[in-house]
Amino acid sequence: MSINLRSVLISDPVDESCGALLASYGVPVTTKYKLPKDELIQEIQKHDGLIVRSETKVTAEILAAASNLRVVGRAGTGVDNIDLDAATRKGIVVLNTPGGNSISACELTCALISSLARNVSQAAASMKEGRWDRKLYSGFELSDKTLAVLGFGRIGREVAHRMQSFGMKIVCFDPVLSQEAAASVGALKLNLDEIWPIADYITVHTPLIPQTRNLINATTLSKCKKGVKIINVARGGIVDEEALLNSIKSGHCGGAALDVFMEEPPKNKITLELIQHPSVIATPHLGASTAEAQQRVAVEIAEQFLAISGKTDKYSVTGIVNAPILSAAMSGDNGPWIELSKKLGKLAARFVKKNINAKIESHIVGDELKNKKFIHTAVLVGVLSGQTKNGLNLVNASTLAKDIGIDIKELYVNGDNNYVVVKIGQYEIRGTVRNNESYLLSIDDNVFNNGIVLRDFISIYHGNGPQDLATIVNEFTAKNININSFNASGNWLAIETNQDVDIIIPGITSY
């Protein structure tokens, strides 16, 4: 699945290397910053692609108005400012740059941990005020202290690696991480209830999702050891700011370093009080604010736009957020299998006269197809063709199917031969790929010798066997329709033509 990018709008400040790279491959770029909502809605209708940072809020209202928009890219990691559900329903691909600012965010985290341990920020401020508070700002060594890393992805692992050089013991929590993977980088995976009582420092590196909102709260802080220090360079909202303030004021929490906040810039009085507290180091969302990170994410998002548009095979798509199945579908020799599956799904829907409330099954057979789960989604795209007003593609097919009550049963079967089976109602069709072309192998138990190439215009008839072939040919000839080929198996007949036809023949069922 490639996306035709006729033009791209960049609505937030990104490094100029982004637009330059797109333009070098012939993609026109329009740069307009800080557009009011009504102007953004008007402008976005002119473009197929949109690139943002944090300022532009890509809401459901804006996406609904973006009739031509096919892909939204954020030059950064999080996508909190993009309505993923609305984008998915419209079949709009959302991309981010998962690795672009990892090193910068990691290094800031490490700097904040060190600053908390040695009161660097507070001591520096007192010196600027003319004081010499040497005893007041005596700190602690990091050696032999326990650092808990919540979220052990790219950034979390980089932090762990660097802080181990300070002699820190690393414990971590990540629901998708195995004990073995943690141990391979010198960390001990624990559950959260095991972490709270033993951590001297807790740093969070998770996305902001329902499961992580207020992950650090009054209850969890009360379970932590006295003097624990909290670091958040991930997303505002992971730490409950009021609970953190109360814990610091009570003396239970020993301090915090915060680069992100629930509201940015902060205006809430609780957040402002937290920022002003002498035990808190606060920075204005600097995690990705390095020259290297800004250039890296700008280039990376441009590279992904070029890859997903098919402008070049030099780059790859690494940051699809709302349709991970699309990443697999775009790689290697998967394109022909996608086309086959779409065609089989579309053909299957014809058998039930597009009554797609019928029971649907999608089977992938053969060792080479084992990991090609996108085939099931591509079958859905074919089945749903013409059933929805929304743009239909691999991004939104599953969502739209659920919306209209369609459930597809997905199966994988071992085998030496590779083919796809679609069952719909009482019918079953099979197909495969040969030399990058789609072939129909059988309908029900009727096998077509050598298969039928599934080109654009195929008419299917079910009659009384080959004797009906003459009747069908005569009808086509009488209407001046050229027949390119025909195949028969059992009572099934397949006619290939150069145009879309719908000829009703008495006594013979057409599909």
34: left (phi over 0), alpha (psi -120 to 50) or beta: left
Task: Please name the CATH architecture into which domain 101-282 falls.
Answer: 3-Layer(aba) Sandwich (3.40)
* pLDDT reported for residue 147: 98
User: Where does residue 419 rank: exposed (0-12), middle (13-18), buried (19+ CB within 10 A)?
Assistant: buried
Burial 304-318 (b: 16+ CB within 10 A, else e): bbbbbbebeeebebb
Catalytic residue among 235, 363, 376, 462: 235
Instruction: For the domain made up of 8-99+292-322, give the CATH fold.
Output: Rossmann fold (3.40.50)
Contact 32, 52 (CB under 8 A): no
- Cβ(327)–Cβ(317) below 8 Å: yes
Per-10-residue mean pLDDT of the chain, 511 residues long, equals 88 95 96 94 94 93 92 88 88 88 95 97 94 94 98 94 98 92 94 97 92 96 97 96 98 97 95 97 94 94 93 88 71 82 90 72 89 86 72 75 79 89 91 92 90 87 76 83 84 84 81 79
pTM: 0.68
Predicted local distance difference test score (pLDDT) of residue 3: 85
Query: Does the annotation count 43 as an active-site position?
Result: no
Instruction: State the alpha helices, DSSP H only, in 130-287.
Output: 154-164, 179-183, 192-195, 218-223, 241-250, 269-276
Residues 7-19 have pLDDT tens digits of 999 999 999 999 9
- Residue 356: its pLDDT value, please? 64
Provide the residue ranges of all domains of the chain, joining segments of one domain with +: 8-99+292-322, 101-282, 328-510
Q: Which pLDDT value is given to residue 403? A: 72
Q: What is the pLDDT of residue 278?
A: 95
Predicted local confidence at residue 482, as pLDDT: 82
- Gyration radius (Cα) of the chain, Å: 29
Q: Show the tokens assigned to 9.
A: 């709008």
Would 8-99+292-322 and 101-282 be classified into the same CATH topology? yes
Is 264 catalytic? The answer is yes
The conformation of residue 413, written as its DSSP 8-state character, comes to E
In this prediction, residue 100 carries a pLDDT of 85
CB 83 within 8 A of CB 58: yes
CA dist., res. 98 & res. 87, Å (int):
19
pLDDT at 392: 75
* Length, in residues, of the chain: 511
The correct answer on CATH 3.30.1330.90 for the domain covering 328-510 is yes
Structure tokens given for 270: 């609780």
pLDDT tens per residue across span 21-68: 999 999 999 999 999 999 999 999 999 999 999 899 999 999 999 989
- Single out the catalytic residue among 118, 154, 285, 455: 285
161 is catalytic: no
What is the model's pLDDT at position 388? 59
